[in-house]
Amino acid sequence: MTDLDETIDRLVRPIADWPEPGVTFRDITPLLGDADALSAVVDGMVELAEKVGPVDTVLGIEARGFILGPAIAVRIGAGFVPIRKAGKLPSTSLSTSYDLEYGSATLEMHVDAMVRGARVLVVDDVLATGGTMAAAADLVAQAGGVVAGNLVMIEISSLGGVQRLEPIGCAALRTY
């Protein structure tokens, strides 16, 4: 186990039965409040992002992808695009609906958020079933971009989300 694994294990708290019974939510708030831990996580994610090769855009999924994505984008010299929950964007948007392990949701992205042909790195905090990242890939395709890679801090391997993202897959700092 690496120091980064130990840091993530210590500072990401599992919240059982939230937002509904049977789901264990991974709360990264304590990690975000620790400057050294946050810096180490961003450094680790940047290392993984650099393995993807050059990207034009880092796409962050609401809400925790908004925290990690811009830091990674700045470090790798890419722009940042937020993907929001339905009804949160002020301009003409693309949308896609998808299933979660505990319901369904809709994500949106501005139609002009990226240029056609852009190579995109999708970033979020946790990969569970893969539905949210697959929906993000759908928005990238609708906009004429290409998902070059997917990146998360934590993957919950028992839920099989990485298989849903094949052939691209998903890199993770910590896998449970």
What is the maximum span of the chain, computed from C-alpha positions, in angstroms? Answer: 46
Rounded average pLDDT over 63-89: 97
- 64 belongs to the catalytic site: yes
Binning pLDDT at 50, 70 and 90, where does residue 103 land?
A: confident
Average pLDDT score over residue span 112-133: 96
Average pLDDT over residues 17-33: 93
Q: DSSP letter for 140, please.
A: H
Q: What percent of the chain has pLDDT over 90?
A: 93
Distances, alpha carbon 71 to alpha carbons 19, 20, 29, 158, 171, in Å:
28, 31, 16, 29, 17
Domain 52-175 top-level CATH class? alpha beta
101 is catalytic: yes
Q: What is the pLDDT of residue 117?
A: 98
Q: What is the DSSP letter of 69?
A: H
**Type of residue at 102:** Y
Q: Mean pLDDT highest for which of 18-22, 81-85, 101-105?
A: 81-85
In the set 26, 62, 64, 116, the catalytic residue is 64
For strand 57-61 and strand 79-85, is the pairing parallel, antiparallel, or unpaired? parallel
Q: Which two tokens stand for residue 93?
A: 């948007």
Name the active-site residue from 20, 75, 101, 119: 101
